[in-house]
Amino acid sequence: MLIRAAGDGDRDAVADIVCAIAAIRETYALPRDLSPAAAQAAWFEAGATVLVAVEDGIVVGTGKYLPVRPAGGAHVATASFMVAPDATGRGVGRALGEEVLRRAAAAGYAAMQFNAVVETNVAAVALWESLGFQVMTTIPAAFEHPTAGRVGLHVMYRKL
């Protein structure tokens, strides 16, 4: 698997992944009927460094990082990750997470903070904990899960 910076030619593939994850509605608070253009705008937001995971020439996942806040909070990064539904369980998320952490540290960030990890996303919570993140708090009933109802959102943190 190759992890590299996303280029303009990756935008449609990334949008396909974002739209697929949005439609599932289990891990991101995005509209179920998100358009590809809206997906691209959300994922390739200003200030974000976007990476893609590529297997056999196919984009199978994406991650991005950027400052969690401007000015006085710009030394802390935030990040988001999505793996194509048919590529889960193959280490794509871990590879993206490790590379984003490496690049964020090299860019001078002091820490990384996730503001909204859905508590029922046990695979993601376990992955981030294995990479050194801690759950700092959980906001109760902050996410409307399609089958579990209202569940908590974890705020997770790790020094770089």
How high is the pLDDT of residue 86? 95
How high is the pLDDT of residue 145? 96
First vs last C-alpha separation in the chain: 24
Q: Over the stretch 25-55, which tens digit does the pLDDT of each residue have? A: 999 999 989 999 999 999 999 999 999 999 9
How high is the pLDDT of residue 43? 97
How high is the pLDDT of residue 41? 95
Q: Rounded mean pLDDT of 100-114?
A: 98
Q: Rounded mean pLDDT of 87-105?
A: 97
How high is the pLDDT of residue 21? 96
Reported confidence tier of residue 7, pLDDT bands at 50, 70, 90: very high
How high is the pLDDT of residue 90? 95
CATH of the domain at 9: 3.40.630.30
Q: What is the mean pLDDT of the chain?
A: 96
How high is the pLDDT of residue 37? 96
What are the two backbone dihedrals, phi and then psi, of residue 67, each rounded to the nearest 5 degrees? -60, 140
Q: 137 is written with which tokens?
A: 């708090």
Q: Structurally, how many domains does the chain consist of?
A: 1
How high is the pLDDT of residue 116? 95
| Enclosing domain of residue 82 | 2-159
Distance between CA atoms of 65 and 110, rounded to whole angstroms? 13
Q: Over the stretch 117-142, which tens digit does the pLDDT of each residue have? A: 999 999 999 999 999 999 999 999 99
